[in-house]
């Protein structure tokens, strides 16, 4: 997983106990995992 995606930092799996186990979606029938992304804005004033 990349450390930075666009302007977002700290991508964290929502279910960290299953971070290394692929999830198979019941709706879409393919492997899924959800992430929380945080963004930090730095003002250069």
- Tell me what the mean pLDDT of segment 12-28 comes to: 64
13 — pLDDT class (breaks 50, 70, 90)? confident
Model pLDDT, residue 14: 75
Percentages helix, strand, coil for the chain (3-state, rounded to 5) are: 5, 40, 55
Residues 6+ positions from 36 with CB-CB distance below 8 Å:
11, 12, 13, 14
Share of the chain above pLDDT 90, in %: 0
- Tell me what the mean pLDDT of segment 2-15 comes to: 66
Model pLDDT, residue 8: 63
Note the pTM of the prediction, 2 decimals: 0.36
């Amino acid at each position: 997983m990349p450390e930075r995606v666009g302007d977002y930092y700290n991508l964290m799996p929502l279910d960290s106990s299953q971070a290394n186990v692929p999830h198979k979606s019941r709706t879409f029938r393919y492997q899924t995992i959800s992430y929380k992304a945080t963004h930090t804005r730095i003002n250069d004033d």
